[in-house]
Amino acid sequence: MEHLRQDDPARIGPYVPLARLDERDGGHPVPDRRYIARSADGERTVLVCVPRAAADPSRWAEEVRHARRSSVPRFLPVSDAAEAAGGQVPDGVGPTPWYAAPYTPALVLPAALAAHGGPLPERFVRAWGAALAHSLAAAHAQGVTHAGVSPSAVLLMADGPWLAGFGAVRAAGPDGLRRPDLAGLEPAALAPEQLSGGLPRPLGDVYGLGTVLSYASTGQVVPENGELPAALRSVITACLARDPAARPTAARVAAELTRGTGAAPASATSRVLPASQAPHASPAPQAPSAPQATVLDGVFPVPLPPRVLAELARHSAAVLAAELPGPPIPAVPVGPVARNGRG
């Protein structure tokens, strides 16, 4: 979280920005411009997002509409949105679409690593990686592709990880055209087929999840194989296969990571079968029912690392203490300075 800058909007729809969610020099592109904001009456605090200047506003707004209609566990919920409302794209002019989500204290994944002082503990990475993989499996079973999974799309909250930045690939560049070096997208986090302009598909989300797991456990999006933790090397390497057919489904990634959170840790030499070779893998994974979703949340009993929890608490306190900017104070005319009691 950082202070607003001079080029940030003073108002976005009915909301007044209080701070930026993302650090200025975080080193990782972010899919949207994200602000912690409050309603003008001071009653509601939200996370409000607007597209980056390089994004296609109409495509971005379409992705928001899809996200608002869908119900996927651990996809950041859209509570309010507008295709063209008050506010301006930073560094741009004119109205812009926006969407808002209920605010819960959150750290973007790169900020969590910065607070922790390096890669996160393996047990923690396994737990929230399993939660994200379950979420993606549920989305894919509904025919939904996130199309924007990357380190900056992951928000860590007290109850686990959530995914934002949905549709960033589609909003940043049309299908059929290469998408390198586009603002808001980290090329290394894009599956090769998406980088070259291919239509985003579920196994592209799995590649993005692989880069998230890699970054959380090493501090690098695509490190050398030997830099990966031995217990996670097999699953991460399988996710990052350049050939989509060689990647496992999100459901199989979830199963592999979940095994490591229980009494039987995954073997460092175990091999995760790709979707095309997995036995009995032809039926599509089913969306979890409400009881299964409850069990999924139970997979995240691992407490946040102490320094990450402390940073989350600091952000929460700062937001609670933030006040809406008041109207400008009119200048008061000042007469000549009196000297020795005389004007």
Q: Which CATH class is domain 15-105?
A: alpha beta
**Any idea where the domains of the chain sit in the sequence?**
15-105, 108-298
DSSP string, 181-215: T-TT--GGGS-HHHHTTPPP-HHHHHHHHHHHHHH
Rounded percentage of the chain residues whose pLDDT exceeds 70: 76
Q: 28 vs 255, which has greater pLDDT?
A: 255
Three-class SS state of 36: strand
* pTM of the complete model: 0.81
According to DSSP, residue 27 is labeled: S
Contact yes or no for 66/146 (Cβ under 8 A): no
Q: Which residues contact 106 (CB under 8 A, 6 or more apart)?
A: 21, 47, 155, 156, 157, 162, 312, 315
pLDDT at 46 over 70: yes
H helices of 102-221, where? 109-116, 122-141, 168-172, 192-195, 202-218
Q: What's the rounded Cα separation, in Å, for the pair 173 and 69?
A: 23
> What pLDDT digit, counting tens, does each position of 79-136 carry?
888 854 444 444 444 567 899 999 989 999 999 999 999 999 999 999 999 999 999 9
- pLDDT tens for 167-212 read 988 888 888 888 876 667 788 889 999 988 899 999 999 999 999 9
Q: What is the mean pLDDT of the chain?
A: 79
- What was the pLDDT predicted at 191? 93
Task: Note the pLDDT tens digit of each residue in 241-260.
Answer: 999 999 999 999 999 998 85
**Is 226 buried (19+), middle (13-18) or exposed (0-12) by CB count in 10 A?**
exposed
Q: What CA–CA distance (Å, rounded) separates 119 from 90?
A: 32
pLDDT tens digit sequence for 121-162:
999 999 999 999 999 999 999 999 999 999 999 999 988 899
**Which of 3.40.50.970, 1.10.510.10, 1.10.1040.10, 3.40.50.300 is the CATH number of 108-298?**
1.10.510.10
Q: What is the pLDDT of residues 254-306, one digit of tens each?
A: 999 988 555 333 333 344 556 555 443 333 333 333 333 333 444 556 778 89
Q: Residue written as tokens 């900020």?
A: 111
